[in-house]
Amino acid sequence: GTPVSICGELAGRPLEAFALIVLGFTRLSAPAGGVGPVKRMILSADLSAARRGMANLLNLSTGSVRNEIESLARKLNVAV
């Protein structure tokens, strides 16, 4: 595959970084202020369980799945 990096404010927000990592993006470049919160999120996440939960969300026909991603993170006790 082709390596893809995500950089910027999006990668520095824990919820958004959670979604990106669960979707398979492993290279994130975040502003300095986002590194600590994103690191805490990564250390708190069970990525296998999150990937199983995210697979269900990918089939939804809604315009946004933000609320569902937040619910998944809360259910898995992810620090977002």
pTM for the model: 0.91
Main-chain phi, psi angles of 29, to 5 degrees? -125, 115
C-alpha span between 51 and 37 (Å, rounded): 20
Give the residue extent of every domain in the chain: 5-75
48-78 core/surface letters (b: 16 or more CB in 10 A; e: else): eebeebbeeeeeeeeeeeeeebeebbeebeb
Q: Strand (E) positions, 1-80?
A: 5-7, 27-29
Give the model's pLDDT for residue 3: 87
Q: Which residues of the chain have pLDDT under 50?
A: none
